Chains A and B, each alone.
Chain A
Amino acid sequence: MSALPLPLRRLRWIGIGLLVVYGVLGLRLLKIQLFDHPELATRAEQQQVGTTRIQNPRGTIRDRNGAPLVIDYPGWDLCVRIRGGASTLPPLVDRVAILARTFGTPEAEIAGQIARLDSAHWFEWQRGVQDPAVVDFAHAHAGWVSVTRRNMRLQPNFPLAEGLLGRCGARGADGGRNLIGLEKVLDPYLASRDTVVRGFRDGRRAEVALAREETTVRPGRAGADVELTIDREVQEVLERSLAGIVERHAPQPGIGGVVLDADTGEVLALASLPHSRSLRDWDYSGDGTFGTRPWMVPLTYVSPPGSTFKPFTIGRALECDDPISLDDVIDCGKPEGTRGPVSLGRRTVRNFKGKRYGDVTIAESLYASYNIGLARIGQRLGVAEMADLLGAIGFAPREGSGRCHFSLPEPWPALGMRTGTTSNRRDWRPGYSDIAWSFGQEMSMTLLQLAYAYTAIATDGVLRTPTLVRSIRYPDGTVRPSPFESRRSRLFQPETVAAIRDTLSNAFTAEGGTLHRIYREHPELFEGALVCGKTGTATEEEPRMRAQLDRPEYKKHSENIVQLVVLGQSATGGTRYIVALTAPHPTGKSRRYTSAGQVLGETGVRLVRFLLDRPVPAPRAGVSEPGDAVPIVRVGNQNSGAAIR
């Protein structure tokens, strides 16, 4: 042992030195916690307090009976953020296993994601989930996965959703992001407003569950519910019917159907096959751009109405200054061929399969759909009268285009509805194009536009623009009518359309009617019902029609598209329905046309029967019956006719 005395003084000085250091630190603390306190506290609060947007539910889209078509569904964003130095994380293998179970993703994929990031400690991944069990699992086993509430949009009816209801993005209520279809059109009503809350946030800007001092900066509100005119039950039946057409008729892709309440113009169902989501399953060889926009055949597919337009020509001929009578006899091609098929310029109009029927009544030429007869009536009416008819239906000249365009009011254009057109005036074929409107050629329209035109025939001569929205129901209980009210305009006098309907009913009941086979084989479908209808064929317009119409070598009437409109009403009165169907021809060969028309016709009649047999829905308040008060529209030469001339 050392004999030196213990150096007590030096120890004391060490102690004093440490106490002096503590004294200095005390002064430093005094400065920070006393003098700098206000500034530091303010800065701390600035970073700790943040505003959070709490998403309120977007409005529900319901059908006319209140059944939900699109709802907000609670969902969550699971976000993984692992950064360096995470010493408390479970081992990488466990992490991968937990993530795989959390996200329902194979472990190999997650391991690959991590490997691509080239670090086991830096990982960021986000995914939306809807299963609360997944969220619970993440809470319990993966504390390093942040969970954020985010509503999602659930559309139980995919065909309707894809083509009409549309989609909305992750937070569709804000900024119209990723909105298409009805979600976009009705966004001003459906959109909710986020509640903005000011409160404490943690260092990752996440809400602090423990926070108690929250203040609402801006109150939010839920979106308004929208009630559509769509009837989910009718929609399902229509979709099944289209599927049945595919099964029996095997057409090319592009089948569509519309069911309208003719009295109100309300669209009860609107279906398309394929719809957007199933496009990839079809061997669709058309214009590929369709994949990028809503695909709803009745809205986005234009074609000439063909023979389905003949009733309008007859109607105008019955009401023109030099009217005809349905009992008048007209030459529809004598066997001797003295007058034979009608030559229009360089073209010859023939009946279906080139048959000649001799002198028949105008009524028969309509229900049996003789082109020669209608061409003669068209010649008699003249282009001015036909232009006036088209103008009354809705065609209007567009400056500089050489065409007349036919559009329906909102919301249809916003939903992607194509405009109907007449062929370009510059490309008119002399002698033919003047008359071709009379049998539904040299023009095109969508199925819904055709169904709209038929509202005049189905009711008392009054056109009713189709509507899709019945009412807006706000969260406070206020119910407001649709912002897209149906517009009405008279096209024909009631007695004219009554006569046309009688004639069209002969398409089923009379021998020689285009749809007589259905009546013969299924008479029970017509019991206690007033059913009439019209078929038509036309060249496929989309994607080739427009090009074909404009080509000078366009020679031959084609039968690529089959159209059908069936009107039905119970014999005891009640709602008048319009069912319009369209389907491309399976092979393009005319021998199959009969089969195609029969399949569509039977489907249409069965749909009408279904509608008539349903319990009669309660009359909607505020809907007035159409009547004579609606003035007839005579647009004359100041509209389409003038442009065409």
Chain B
Amino acid sequence: MAFPTLRLPTRTTPTATQLADRVFVIGMALCMIGLLMVMSASAFLQTAGEGVAEGNPYRLAARQGLCLLIAIAAYIGVRRMRLAAIDRFARPALVGVGVLLVLVLVPGIGSVEGNASRWLRLGPLSFQPSEVAKLALIVFLAHWLARERDVLRSFKEGVLPTVGIIALVCGLIALEPDLGTSVLLASVSFAMLIVAGMHVRHLLPFAIVGLPAFIAVMALRFEHIVPRFRAFLDPMAHYQTKQSLLALGSGGVFGLGLGQGRQKLAYLPQVHGDFLFASIGEELGLIGTFAVLGLFGLLIWTAVRMLMKVRDPFAFFVGTGVTTLIGLQAAINIAVVTASAPPKGIALPFISQGGTSLIVMVTGLALLVNAGQRADEARARAAGTATRARPAHPHGRAAIERVAHGTS
């Protein structure tokens, strides 16, 4: 008498490639939401005369769409590149970005707008070197950590030189001044170092001495720092934060409806840029903000799961850096919009209007996806080698199936 056929329920674990695909889909979903909301938020500004002469209500949205197309092209390009090739360019890339960060500070070369010199113009094109520096520093750190993370255990020989490079890049960005980006980049860099094995106690000297000194210097050097901290303590006394809260609050659970927001009518400055999340809250309500927050959370968690399967150190640290960058930047932006942090102009990744930011983030996404998909390829290659070298595991799935079918 034969045993009845036993079919065990199977719970398949997604492969790194599948997770990478999910990361890509989530990223694109955020981009689409961003494009839609930029269109909604900027249409009024373009017609009501916020300094634009053309009078085309969808001018900013069209530009954002064009930048998205460029970003997707960059995504495809980076996605097809071998990580090893990127790894080789890590040092020259950082040096190049360093030069750009110096150039942007040179009067006459850097474009000054609103008392900050953040832009480099090349004919009709312009970009922010600080945005490019985010990826360059992440790639460089990944390159360095993949090889030299053993020395991180030593404060003097490992941590200090690394932090010196980070401080140099972040310092140049802070001089623009763009304190938000420099703090963000420093945080991402330290997160990568911690993941790579740096002792948490090595952070203490920087936390105790470096951070207060940095804040004090910045507060003395740049007058707008102190009022921003005051605004954090009393959000309703700060115009932009107050308008942001009113936008979010008036949206309620279901929102006023897409395109029906009122705070974008010249109440909330930068509504199409750094404060687009407030407009989402107003027009799409709590459902919309939770959806965006959820998508970011899902992206982070999917990326972490994917990176858990990565075995290539460079890919792992690049993925860690990009994931942390996206996650932290989104968290800071939402914290500022919800008055949970002092006001600071940091774009919401994939969503806020801004060409350089969008292209850099999508390129980062490409690096992340690339890391995941290369992981499966490497695993497959490794598995192929192992199959040839060793017999199949007697307790593997094939053995179970044999038992279940009654075959020996």
Binding site for B on A (CB under 8 A): 1-4, 6-8, 10-12, 14-15, 18-19, 21-22, 24-26, 28-30, 32-34, 36-37, 39-41, 43-45, 47-48, 82, 84-90, 94, 98, 139-146, 200-204, 206, 208-210
Q: Which residue of B lies closest to A18 (CB)?
A: B327
Shortest distance between the CB of B56 and any CB in chain A (Å): 10
A43 to B50, CA, bound (A): 24
- Enumerate chain A residues within 8 angstroms of B303, measured Cβ to Cβ: 15
CB pair A47 B246 closer than 8 Å = yes
With A28-B338, A37-B253 as known contacts, state yes or no: A44 contacts B263, CB within 8 Å.
Answer: yes
**A93–chain B nearest beta-carbon distance, Å:** 13
Question: When the two chains form the complex, which single residue of B51, B253, B334 contacts A88, counting CB atoms closer than 8 Å?
Answer: B51
Complex CA–CA separation, A44 to B278 (angstroms): 13
Q: Which residues of B contact A (CB under 8 A)?
A: 44, 46-55, 113-114, 145-150, 191, 194-197, 245-253, 262-263, 265-268, 281, 285-286, 289-290, 293, 296-297, 300-301, 303-304, 307-308, 310-311, 313, 316, 320, 323-324, 327-328, 331, 334-335, 338, 340
**Contact: B51 with A32, CB < 8 Å?**
no
Q: A33-B249, A37-B250 are in contact. Are A26 and B266 (CB under 8 A)?
A: no
Residues of chain A lying within 8 A (CB to CB) of residue B249: 32-33, 36-37, 39-41, 43-44
- With the chains together, A502 CA to B129 CA distance in Å? 104
**Known pairs A47-B246, A143-B51; A37 contacts B331 (CB<8 A):** no
B300 close to A18 (CB less than 8 A) = yes
CB of A33 within 8 A of CB of B281, answer yes
Given contacts A29-B286, A29-B338, contact A6 B311 (CB under 8 A): yes
Q: Contacts of A24 on B, CB cut-off 8 Å?
A: 340
Contact across chains for A6 and B313 when beta carbons are under 8 A apart: yes
Nearest-neighbour CB distance to chain A for B333, whole angstroms, equals 10
B213 nearest CB across to chain A (Å):
25
**Neighbour of A7 across the interface among B48, B50, B197, CB < 8 A:** B197
Report whether B52 and A143 are in contact in the complex, using a CB–CB cutoff of 8 Å.
Answer: yes
Task: Looking at the assembled complex, report how far the CB atom of A200 sits from the nearest CB atom of chain B, in whole angstroms.
Answer: 6
Given known contacts A4-B150, A88-B50, is B262 in contact with A48 (CB within 8 Å)?
A: yes
Given contacts A29-B286, A44-B263, 12 further A-B contacts (CB under 8 A): A7-B196, A10-B195, A10-B196, A14-B324, A15-B323, A22-B331, A25-B335, A29-B248, A29-B334, A33-B289, A43-B249, A202-B48
| A496 to B267 Cα, complex, angstroms | 81
Evaluate contact between B53 and A14: CB separation under 8 angstroms.
no
- Chain B contact residues: helix, strand, loop or mixed: helix
Residue of A nearest to B265 (CB): A202
Asked whether B262 lies within 8 Å of A10 as measured between CB atoms, the reply is no
A143 and B53 form a contact (CB under 8 A): yes
The minimal Cβ–Cβ distance linking B167 to chain A, given in whole angstroms, is 21
**Chain A contacts of B53 at CB under 8 A?**
90, 94, 98, 141-144
Q: Which of B249, B266, B285, B301 has the most CB of A within 10 A?
A: B249
Q: Which residues of A contact B51 (CB under 8 A)?
A: 82, 86-89, 143-144
Closest 5 CB pairs of A and B: A40-B249, A203-B266, A143-B49, A15-B304, A88-B51
| Residues of B close to A90: CB separation below 8 A | 53
The one of B48, B197, B247, B307 that contacts A4, using a Cβ cutoff of 8 Å? B197
Q: How far is the CB of B7 from chain A (nearest CB, A)?
A: 33
A6-B311, A11-B308, A29-B281 are known contacts. Are A45 and B293 too (CB-CB below 8 A)? no
Residues in chain B near residue A98, CB distance under 8 A: 53
Query: Chain B's nearest CB lies how many Å from the CB of A374?
Result: 76
Identify 8 residue pairs between A and B in the complex whose beta-carbon atoms are under 8 Å apart, listed by A's number.
A2-B313, A7-B197, A18-B327, A19-B297, A25-B335, A36-B249, A88-B50, A89-B51
Once bound together, how far apart are the Cα atoms of A473 and B246, in whole Å? Answer: 50
* B266 with A143: CB separation less than 8 A: no
Distance in angstroms between the alpha carbons of A198 and B262 in the assembled complex? 15
Which residue of the partner chain, among B150, B194, B266, B308, contacts A8 with CB atoms under 8 Å?
Answer: B308
In the docked arrangement, what's the CA distance between A303 and B68, Å? 86
A29 and B49 CA atoms in complex are apart in Å by 32
* In contact, B113 and A87 (Cβ under 8 angstroms): yes
Name which residue of chain A comes closest to B256, CB basis.
A41
Whether A14 and B320, one on each chain, are in contact in the complex, defined by CB atoms closer than 8 angstroms, is yes
CB distance from B65 to the nearest CB of A (A): 18
Given A25-B338, A29-B290, A33-B286, A12:B246 Cβ within 8 A: no
Provide the residues of chain B in CB contact with A201, threshold 8 Å: 265
- In the complex, are the beta carbons of B49 and A144 less than 8 A apart? yes
Query: In the complex, are the beta carbons of B253 and A34 less than 8 A apart?
Result: yes
Q: Which of B250, B281, B285, B311: most chain A Cβ within 10 A?
A: B250
Taking CB atoms, residues of chain A closer than 8 Å to B320 are: 11, 14
Which residue in B148, B267, B316 is a CB contact (below 8 Å) of A48? B267
Determine the distance from Cα of A24 to Cα of B197 in the docked complex, in whole angstroms. Answer: 27
Chain B residues positioned under 8 Å from A141 (CB to CB): 53
CB-based contact A43/B49 at 8 Å: no
Q: Using Cβ atoms and an 8 Å threshold, which residues of chain A touch B313?
A: 1-2, 6
Partner of B296, one of A22, A32, A143: A22
Q: How far is the CB of B391 from chain A (nearest CB, A)?
A: 26
Asked whether A2 lies within 8 Å of B300 as measured between CB atoms, the reply is: no
Min CB distance, B318 to chain A, in Å? 12
* A26-B290, A33-B286, A98-B53 as given contacts; A85 in contact with B48, CB under 8 Å: no
For A36, the closest partner residue in chain B by CB is: B249
Q: A34–B286 contact, CB under 8 A?
A: yes
Q: Which residues of A contact B247 (CB under 8 A)?
A: 44
**Cβ–Cβ contact B285 & A19, under 8 A:** no
Contact B266 A202 (CB under 8 A): yes
Task: Take A7-B197, A18-B331 as given contacts and tell me if A1 and B253 are in contact as well, using a CB distance cutoff of 8 Å.
Answer: no
Q: Which of the residues B147, B263, B307, B338 comes within 8 Å of A32, measured between beta carbons?
A: B338
Which one of A2, A19, A36, A82 contacts B150 once the chains associate, using CB atoms below 8 Å? Answer: A2
Q: By CB atoms of chain B within 10 A, which of A15, A45, A90 has the most?
A: A15
